């Protein structure tokens, strides 16, 4: 009886929390034109919807438990200045967005999406093109990276990064991603637990290591 009452209380708490969640719209015809401005205004549990269009922004910083959703053809152009989005929070999601033109650095791991010291997050249905690093995860737990397309134009090893790079991750789910034209398609380092029913083998493509887990589709360009 006590367990049932506890579960009912939790359910009601979730309903009340969702009632107070807000939607923020970003777009040329909206009151908000900047993604970072919308992120700054949003509070935990809120959702930011990015209308279709090109947004020339970089070094976006996410430190709240919010959801970023891109409409079709919503594109963030980093103009090769730096990385585009850095997240240091928990319980967030990024979906449906396109990213392009990530800066190249020989001293910093610039990425379209960088997640650091975070837990319980989802990155899905995103398109990342002309990247240095695509999705870079470090010191994070319980993340899901799925149904993303990551590509670049690899000239040489030094000037290119990895598609999905996870360093010091725990309990991560990675599946159904497309990656090509990169240095390493998927690279895991100090990753302790991956949960997925189908686990493929690690393979090597000449000098470039493509660690394939789950049912990834890797299409490395020829050297």
Of 114, 129, 70, 124, give the one whose Cα is nearest residue 93: 124
Q: What pLDDT digit, counting tens, does each position of 112-136 carry?
A: 999 999 999 999 999 999 999 999 9
Q: What pLDDT digit, counting tens, does each position of 178-192 carry?
A: 888 888 888 888 876
Q: How far apart are CA 151 and CA 27, in angstroms?
A: 26
Of 123, 152, 143, 132, give the one whose Cα is nearest residue 58: 132
For the chain, give every domain's residue range: 55-219
Report the share of the chain in percent with pLDDT over 70: 74
Asked if residue 200 has pLDDT above 50, the reply is: no
Asked if residue 143 has pLDDT above 50, the reply is: yes
- Residue range 17-28: mean pLDDT, rounded: 84
Q: How far apart are CA 124 and CA 133, in angstroms?
A: 16
Distance spanning both ends of the chain, measured CA to CA: 65
Helix, strand, coil percentages, rounded to 5, for the chain: 10, 45, 45
Confidence of residue 4 (pLDDT cuts 50, 70, 90): low
Helix (H) or strand (E) holding 7: helix 2-19
Q: What pLDDT digit, counting tens, does each position of 53-93 carry?
A: 999 999 999 999 999 999 999 999 999 999 999 999 999 99
| pTM of the shown model | 0.80
Helix (H) or strand (E) holding 205: strand 202-205
């Amino acid at each position: 009886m006590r367990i049932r009452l506890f579960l009912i209380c939790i359910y009601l708490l979730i309903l009340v929390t969702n009632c107070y969640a807000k939607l923020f719209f970003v777009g040329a015809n909206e009151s908000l034109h900047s993604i970072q401005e919308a992120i700054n205004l949003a509070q935990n549990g809120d959702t930011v919807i990015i209308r279709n269009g090109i947004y020339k922004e970089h070094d976006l910083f996410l430190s709240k438990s919010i959801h970023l959703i891109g409409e079709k053809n919503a594109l963030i152009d980093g103009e090769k200045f730096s990385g585009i989005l850095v997240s240091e929070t928990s319980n967030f999601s990024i979906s449906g967005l396109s990213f392009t033109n990530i800066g190249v650095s020989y001293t910093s791991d610039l990425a379209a999406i960088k997640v650091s010291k975070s837990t319980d997050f989802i990155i899905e249905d995103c398109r990342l093109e002309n990247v240095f690093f695509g999705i870079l995860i470090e010191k994070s737990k319980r993340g899901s990276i799925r149904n993303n397309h990551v590509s670049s134009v690899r000239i040489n090893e030094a000037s290119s990064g990895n598609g999905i790079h996870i360093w010091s991750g725990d309990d991560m789910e990675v599946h159904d991603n497309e990656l090509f034209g990169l240095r390493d398609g998927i690279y895991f380092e100090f990753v302790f637990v991956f949960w997925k029913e189908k686990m493929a083998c690690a393979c090597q493509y000449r000098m470039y290591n493509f660690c394939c887990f789950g049912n990834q589709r890797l299409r490395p360009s020829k050297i």
